[in-house]
Chains A and B, each alone.
Chain A
Amino acid sequence: MRSSWLRDKALPLAAWAVVLFLHIPLALIILYAFSAEDKSYVFPPPALTLQWFAVAWGRDDVWAAIRLSFSVAAFSTAIALVLGTLAAAALARARFFGRDVISLLLVLPIALPGILTGIALRSAYHTLEIPFSFWTIVIGHATFCVVVVFNNAVARLRRLNPNLIEASMDLGADGFQTLRYVVLPQLGSALLAGALLAFALSFDEVIVTTFTAGQQTTLPIWMLQELIRPRQRPVTNVVAVVIIALTFVPIVIAYTLTRADEPGHR
Chain B
Amino acid sequence: MNTLALPAPRLSLRRQASNLLYRRRGLLLLALLGPVLLWFGVVYLGSLFALLANAFFRLDDFTGQVVREVGVGNFVALLEPANLDSAWRTIVMAVVVTLACTVLAFPLAYYMARRARGTQKALLYIAVMLPLWSSYLVRLYAWKLLLAKEGAISWVATKLHLQWLLDLVLTTPAVGGPSLSFSTLGTFIVFVYMWLPFMVLPIMASIERIPASTLEASADLGALPATTFRNVILPLAMPGVAAGSIFTFSLTLGDYIIPQVIGDSTLFIGQIVYRQQGVAGNLPFAAAFSLVPIVVIAAYLWFAKKRGAFDAL
Chain B residues within 8 Å of A119, by CB: 51, 273, 277, 286-287, 290
CB <8 Å contact, B107 and A18: yes
Chain B residues within 8 Å of A96, by CB: 29
List residues of chain B with CB under 8 Å of any chain A CB. 9, 14-15, 17-19, 21-22, 29, 32-33, 35-37, 39-40, 43-48, 50-51, 53-54, 66, 104-105, 107-108, 110-112, 115, 124, 127-128, 130-131, 133-146, 148, 150-152, 154-155, 193, 196-197, 200, 224-226, 250-251, 253-257, 260-261, 270, 273-274, 277, 283, 286-287, 290, 293-294, 297
CB <8 Å contact, A126 and B257: no
Query: Could you list 19 A-B pairs, sorted by A, with CB under 8 Å?
Result: A11-B107, A41-B144, A41-B145, A41-B148, A112-B294, A113-B250, A113-B254, A115-B255, A115-B290, A116-B293, A119-B290, A120-B50, A123-B54, A126-B50, A126-B66, A139-B43, A172-B9, A224-B137, A227-B140
Q: In this assembly, does A248 line the interface, its C-beta being within 8 Å of a C-beta of chain B? A: yes
CB <8 Å contact, A123 and B47: yes
B14 touches which of A120, A126, A139, A174 (Cβ 8 Å): A174
Q: How far is the CA of A64 from the CA of B260 in the complex (A)?
A: 25
CB <8 Å contact, A143 and B43: yes
CB <8 Å contact, A220 and B22: no
CB <8 Å contact, B135 and A204: yes
CB <8 Å contact, A175 and B21: yes
Interface residues in A, total, Cβ within 8 A: 79
Chain A residues within 8 Å of B297, by CB: 113
Q: Given A7-B225, A83-B36, A143-B39, are A94 and B29 neighbors across the interface (CB < 8 Å)?
A: yes
Q: How far is the CA of A142 from the CA of B47 in the complex (A)?
A: 14
Q: Given A11-B111, A174-B14, A240-B142, are A41 and B37 neighbors across the interface (CB < 8 Å)?
A: no
Q: How far is the CA of A29 from the CA of B136 in the complex (A)?
A: 13
Q: Is the interface of B mostly helix, strand, loop or mixed?
A: helix
* B40, B112, B138: most-surrounded residue (chain A CB, <10 A): B138
B196 touches which of A18, A175, A223, A226 (Cβ 8 Å): A18
CB <8 Å contact, B151 and A43: yes
Chain B residues within 8 Å of A200, by CB: 133
Q: How far is the CA of A7 from the CA of B114 in the complex (A)?
A: 11
Known contacts A19-B108, A23-B130, A227-B144, then 10 further A-B pairs from the complex at CB < 8 Å, ordered by chain A residue: A15-B112, A41-B144, A102-B33, A106-B36, A117-B47, A123-B50, A211-B274, A226-B141, A228-B261, A247-B134
CB <8 Å contact, A120 and B138: no
A247 touches which of B19, B135, B200, B225 (Cβ 8 Å): B135
A211 touches which of B137, B152, B277 (Cβ 8 Å): B277
A102 touches which of B37, B200, B253, B257 (Cβ 8 Å): B37
Q: In this assembly, does A243 line the interface, its C-beta being within 8 Å of a C-beta of chain B? A: yes
CB <8 Å contact, A26 and B139: yes
- The residue in chain A whose Cβ has the minimal distance to the Cβ of B22 is A175
Chain B residues within 8 Å of A39, by CB: 150
Q: Given A119-B51, A228-B260, are A28 and B32 neighbors across the interface (CB < 8 Å)?
A: no
CB <8 Å contact, A248 and B35: no
A90 touches which of B29, B115, B148 (Cβ 8 Å): B29
The A82-129 residues at the B interface (CB cut-off 8 A) are 82-83, 86-87, 89-90, 94, 96, 102, 105-106, 108-109, 112-117, 119-124, 126-128
- The residue in chain A whose Cβ has the minimal distance to the Cβ of B41 is A105
B293 touches which of A108, A113, A139 (Cβ 8 Å): A113
Q: How far is the CA of A227 from the CA of B190 in the complex (A)?
A: 14
CB <8 Å contact, B104 and A247: no
Q: How far is the CA of A1 from the CA of B96 in the complex (A)?
A: 34
List residues of chain A with CB under 8 Å of any chain B CB. 3, 6-7, 11-12, 14-15, 18-19, 21-23, 25-26, 28-29, 32, 39-44, 82-83, 86-87, 89-90, 94, 96, 102, 105-106, 108-109, 112-117, 119-124, 126-128, 139, 142-143, 146, 172, 174-176, 200, 204, 206-207, 210-211, 220, 223-224, 226-228, 236, 240, 243-244, 247-248, 251-252
Q: Is the interface of A mostly helix, strand, loop or mixed?
A: helix
Chain B residues within 8 Å of A90, by CB: 29, 32-33, 36
A124 touches which of B46, B226, B253 (Cβ 8 Å): B46
B51 touches which of A3, A83, A106, A120 (Cβ 8 Å): A120
Q: Least Cβ distance of B45 to chain A in Å?
A: 8
CB <8 Å contact, A12 and B115: yes
CB <8 Å contact, B32 and A87: yes
Chain B residues within 8 Å of A204, by CB: 135-137
Q: How far is the CA of A174 from the CA of B16 in the complex (A)?
A: 9
Chain B residues within 8 Å of A25, by CB: 139, 142-143, 146, 193
A206 touches which of B133, B136, B251 (Cβ 8 Å): B136
CB <8 Å contact, B226 and A3: yes
> Across chains A and B, which 3 residue pairs bring their CB atoms closest together, nearest first?
A113-B254, A15-B111, A124-B47
Q: Least Cβ distance of A229 to chain B in Å?
A: 11
Q: Least Cβ distance of A169 to chain B in Å?
A: 8
Q: How far is the CA of A127 from the CA of B52 in the complex (A)?
A: 12
